[in-house]
Amino acid sequence: MRTGKLAITLAALALAWFPSPAQDARLIPITARRFEYSPREVRLKKGETVTLVLKSEDVTHGFLCRPLKIDSDIPPGRETRVTVTPQQAGEFTAICNHFCGAGHGNMKMKLIVE
């Protein structure tokens, strides 16, 4: 019994001491507002784990980039974090896929993986 408790304590200590890749990841803030993202372009490195920190300044937006397997809602009033490790270089478009009004169809940004 005592051995079991010790193992759990050691595991907890190890988790606290060695942060997960997501905790280590470079943070990239992206702000959504009708009908644009800011910045309009971000550069990522192939194989580098990054966390996109998505915030909405007005209504619920979406963030879809199929090639990078990202599909997230961005509700207003809180941060939405998405961790990604791009495996292919290229220029990808992320779009808002939560209908947000008249300019919704043009709300997009570029994710450039080098």
Check binding of 80 to another protein (CB under 8 A): no
- Cα–Cα separations (whole angstroms), residue 73 to 17, 64, 99: 32, 9, 11
Beta pairing partners, 91: 112
Question: Per CB under 8 A, does 55 bind another protein?
Answer: no
> Would you count residue 97 as binding another protein (CB under 8 A)?
yes
| Residue 42 is a binding residue for another protein (CB under 8 A) | no
- With binding defined as CB under 8 A, does residue 103 bind another protein? no
Neighbours of 114 (CB within 10 A): 11
Distance of alpha carbon 68 from alpha carbon 21, whole angstroms: 17
Among 22, 28, 53, 64, binds another protein (CB under 8 A): 64
Site membership for another protein, residue 60 (CB under 8 A): yes
Position among 30, 32, 62, 84 found at the interface with another protein (CB under 8 A): 62
Q: How far apart are CA 9 and CA 11, in angstroms?
A: 5
Residue 36 or 73 having the CB closest to another protein: 73
Of 24, 58, 71, 79, the one binding another protein by CB under 8 A: 71
Peptide bond into 39 cis (omega under 30): yes
